[in-house]
Amino acid sequence: MKRATLAVVILLALFALPMVASGYILYLANLLMVFVVLSLGLNILIGETGQFGLAHAAFYGIGIYTAVLLNNATGAPVLVTLLAGASLAALIGLVLGAISLRMRDIYLALSTFAFGEAVRWVFASWTPVTGGPNGLRINPSNLFGFKLVTDRDAYLLVLVVTLAFLLLTIQITRSRLGSAFRAVRESEIAAAAMGVNVRGVKIAAFALSAFYAGAAGGLFTTFSSFIHPESLGFMTTIMVLTMIVVGGLGSVVGAVGGALILGLFSELLRQLLSFQEIIYGAILMLCMMYAPRGLMGLLERKQAGR
């Protein structure tokens, strides 16, 4: 009951935010929600299913470029551009998942990393389409004929979509598929012995995770005016990975918490761009050493009274 009350209060506050907050705060809120969707997606693949796919930024970028190109060329409704970006990312994720079936652990991590870098290279080199290293201007998105120009305009859309993804994640986690994800993570042999379709489950995790990343990309385009391939490299994947590790792998609340905390952090540290990587590295290391199960692990331990 108390939890439900808390959830309602938070929801009301989130919907009321545009009435009191400045444009910068709303920009920050939009950005944090994009991080939340990214984290939820990567958590499905790494936290729930235990597959170390490290191409999240590439799927994020595919979502961004698809949405931008579609929007700039046709002015299609934002929900269409968003869904197109997410679907294309999911499709490519599905193919990557199918190709990666034979690999695991470090080999899987390395090959998906290589895939991510290859995609970034495409973003940076395919100048006629992506604008190459010069980047691409993003025209305002179109929501039922209404142009989303400012962060304030986009806020409610970003909020509603993020909440939808949060609900979807909770549903998946509690479903049969969610159980299958975790069983594959714990023991592929035992999962197969239970009649779980291990290959299908792995591919589904890849595709689903890419769908989230693509949708996050689409959301990004609703409040941003420019995209540059530099921001879609491995560093972004590592940042999202840090978010879910700090939050606690395999926990939905952890993924959201990690995204909010580290997202704020990265915004505060924006002036210290070159130090960011060192700081992420340090956070990741400290987390592995002292809180291997992340903030959720610390919380549970506190509740258990230890």
Partner 1 sequence: MSDLLALEGIAAGYGSIQALSGVSLRVTTGTIVALLGSNGAGKTTTLNTISRVVPLTGGRILFDGEPIHELPSSRVVMRGISQVPEGREIFARMSVEENLVIGAHVRRDRAGIAADLERVCDYFPVLKSRFRQMAGTLSGGEQQMLLIARALMARPRILLLDEPSLGLSPIMVQQIFKIIRRLNEDGLTVLLVEQNARLALAVSQYAYVMENGEIRFEGRSADLVKDDGLRRTYLGV
What residues make contact with partner 1 under the rule CB under 8 A? Answer: 176, 179-180, 182-183, 185-187, 189-197, 250
Nearest distance, CB of residue 306 and partner 1, angstroms: 13
| Residue in the block written with tokens 């258990």 | 304
| 136 membership: H or E segment, kind and range | strand 136-137
Long-range contacts of 70-74 (CB under 8 A, 24+ apart): 71/138, 71/139, 71/141, 71/142, 71/221, 72/136, 72/137, 72/138, 72/139
For helices 151-174 and 252-268, the axis angle rounded to 10 degrees is: 150
Nearest CB to partner 1, comparing residues 173 and 224: 173
Nearest CB to partner 1, comparing residues 48 and 153: 48
Nearest distance, CB of residue 44 and partner 1, angstroms: 16
Nearest CB to partner 1, comparing residues 196 and 244: 196
Nearest distance, CB of residue 250 and partner 1, angstroms: 7
Nearest CB to partner 1, comparing residues 3 and 176: 176
Do residues 51 and 109 lie in contact, with contact meaning Cβ atoms separated by under 8 Å? Answer: no
Amino acid at 128: P
Do residues 81 and 221 lie in contact, with contact meaning Cβ atoms separated by under 8 Å? Answer: yes
Nearest CB to partner 1, comparing residues 182 and 228: 182
Nearest distance, CB of residue 192 and partner 1, angstroms: 6
Nearest distance, CB of residue 185 and partner 1, angstroms: 8
Nearest CB to partner 1, comparing residues 160 and 288: 288
Do residues 115 and 96 lie in contact, with contact meaning Cβ atoms separated by under 8 Å? Answer: yes
DSSP string, 126-182: -HHHH-GGG-EE-PPEEETTEEE-SHHHHHHHHHHHHHHHHHHHHHHHHSHHHHHHH
258 vs 39: CA distance, rounded Å: 8
Nearest CB to partner 1, comparing residues 13 and 190: 190
Nearest distance, CB of residue 101 and partner 1, angstroms: 16
Q: Is 299 left (phi over 0), alpha (psi -120 to 50) or beta?
A: alpha
Nearest distance, CB of residue 204 and partner 1, angstroms: 14
